[in-house]
């Protein structure tokens, strides 16, 4: 995968990106993970795959997952989560309350940060918590 996705930005630059940028990437990483997992573990048709995917990627589910794994995070990861949660978004959530939306953004920021900094082993550990 690294051959076709350029991840050459230095960590110092990634640290300076907005947490909402991390969340933007993390949203995609998580959705791709969920979709791939469903394709690999079910025989559902595309519409049903979509319905199942939504159950996992909606803000409420992401906020709940972050709550479940929070104590397993390192101090650095908790700082990333805090920055993601506190990022000023001018987007109003449709299907979640503001707190759920902020925690979902924090979860996505963590995933995006780990992905952009090539911490793939840790990213995989956190994503595998979703299955637990």
Question: Is residue 3 in a domain?
Answer: no
pTM above 0.85, yes or no: yes
Q: What is the pLDDT of residues 48-97, one digit of tens each?
A: 999 999 999 999 999 999 999 999 999 999 999 999 999 987 777 778 89
Please answer whether residues 34 and 56 qualify as being in contact, where contact means their C-beta atoms are separated by less than 8 angstroms: yes
Q: What is the CATH number of the domain that holds 67?
A: 1.10.1520.10
Half-sphere exposure of 76 (CA within 13 A, CB side): 7
Q: What is the pLDDT of residues 87-119, one digit of tens each?
A: 987 777 778 898 999 999 999 999 999 999 999
- Supply the residues annotated as catalytic: 27
What's the DSSP call for residue 71?
Answer: G
Question: Is residue 57 in a domain?
Answer: yes
In the chain, the number of structural domains is: 1
Phi, psi angles (nearest 5°) of residue 57: -90, -5
Question: Is residue 9 in a domain?
Answer: no
Residue 1 has pLDDT above 70, yes or no: no
Which domain does 76 fall in, by range?
Answer: 14-129
Residue 3: predicted pLDDT: 60
């Amino acid at each position: 995968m690294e051959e076709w996705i350029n991840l050459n930005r230095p960590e110092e630059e990634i640290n300076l990106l907005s947490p909402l940028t991390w969340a933007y990437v993390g949203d995609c990483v998580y959705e791709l993970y969920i979709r791939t997992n469903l394709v690999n573990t079910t025989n559902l048709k595309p519409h049903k795959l979509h319905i199942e995917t939504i159950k996992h990627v909606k803000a409420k589910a992401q906020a709940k997952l972050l709550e479940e794994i929070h104590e397993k995070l390192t101090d650095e990861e908790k700082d990333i989560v805090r920055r993601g949660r506190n990022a000023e978004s001018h987007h109003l959530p449709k299907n979640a309350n503001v707190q759920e939306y902020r925690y979902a953004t924090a979860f996505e920021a963590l995933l995006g940060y780990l992905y952009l900094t090539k911490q793939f082993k840790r990213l995989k550990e956190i994503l595998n918590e979703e299955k637990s």
